[in-house]
Amino acid sequence: MDINILSSLHSALLLSAKLFIVIVALMIIYEFYEKSKLFELTQRYAKSPIEAIGISTNASITMIVGFILGITYGAGILIKNAMENKMSKQDTILSAIFLSICHAVIEDTLIFVAVGANGFILFGIRFIMAIGVIIAIQKIFFKKRNIQ
């Protein structure tokens, strides 16, 4: 029994180390990306859809990373931008809520499609639900209380 616990602990530590390396690498890449012209181009194309749901373009990269790569990577950038005051409290909260509902859409959708789910329905429900919740929270909570 002790061998299984030690083996499990070893596997968990290795997985944690791998995840740490990936997140640190992503943060380093993000630093270079943030200073590139591609960053500005991405923000320009993401501006309309992001602002349509009540989130400023300052949160666009956080939203895109979390939407595509997943909550872990999106949260890393979200925390970094929030700590550096690059995002308002409203953008931070709305981005976190959106990503908690609709993150890693490629990976998660493919996993569920592999076990028989309809990918279009799964993606559609998650995306529409995330947008609906964000719009409702923004109108009910933020506008009513005039929070920025």
Instruction: State whether 15 and 59 are in the same domain.
Output: no
Residue type, 144: K
Are residues 78 and 140 both part of a single domain?
yes
- Number of C-alpha atoms within 13 angstroms, CB side, residue 132? 6
Query: Do 53 and 75 share a domain, yes or no?
Result: yes
Task: State whether 30 and 85 are in the same domain.
Answer: no
Q: Are residues 65 and 138 in the same domain?
A: yes
Higher pLDDT, 20 or 131: 131
Better-predicted residue by pLDDT, 99 or 144:
99
Number of domains in the chain: 2
- Count of CB atoms within 10 A of residue 103's CB? 23
Confidence of residue 22 (pLDDT cuts 50, 70, 90): confident
Same domain, 72 and 138: yes
Q: What percent of the chain lies above the pLDDT cut of 90?
A: 22
Same domain? 78 vs 138 = yes
71-90 pLDDT, tens per residue?
877 888 899 889 999 999 88
Asked whether residue 1 falls in the same domain as residue 74, the answer is no
- Same-domain pairing of 58 and 30: no
In a domain, 42, yes or no: no
How confident is residue 128, by pLDDT bands cut at 50, 70 and 90?
Answer: very high
Mean pLDDT of 88-101: 91
Domain extent, residue 22, equals: 1-35
Same domain, 70 and 1: no
Q: Residue for token digits 């299984």? A: 4
Name the pTM for this structure: 0.71
In terms of domains, do 73 and 119 share one? yes
What is the rounded distance in angstroms from the CA atom of residue 125 to the CA atom of residue 131? 10
pLDDT at 148 over 70: no
CA atoms of 71 and 23, how far apart (whole Å): 12
**CB of 88 closer than 8 Å to CB of 95:** no
Q: Is the dihedral of CA 61, 67, 69, 70 positive or negative?
A: positive
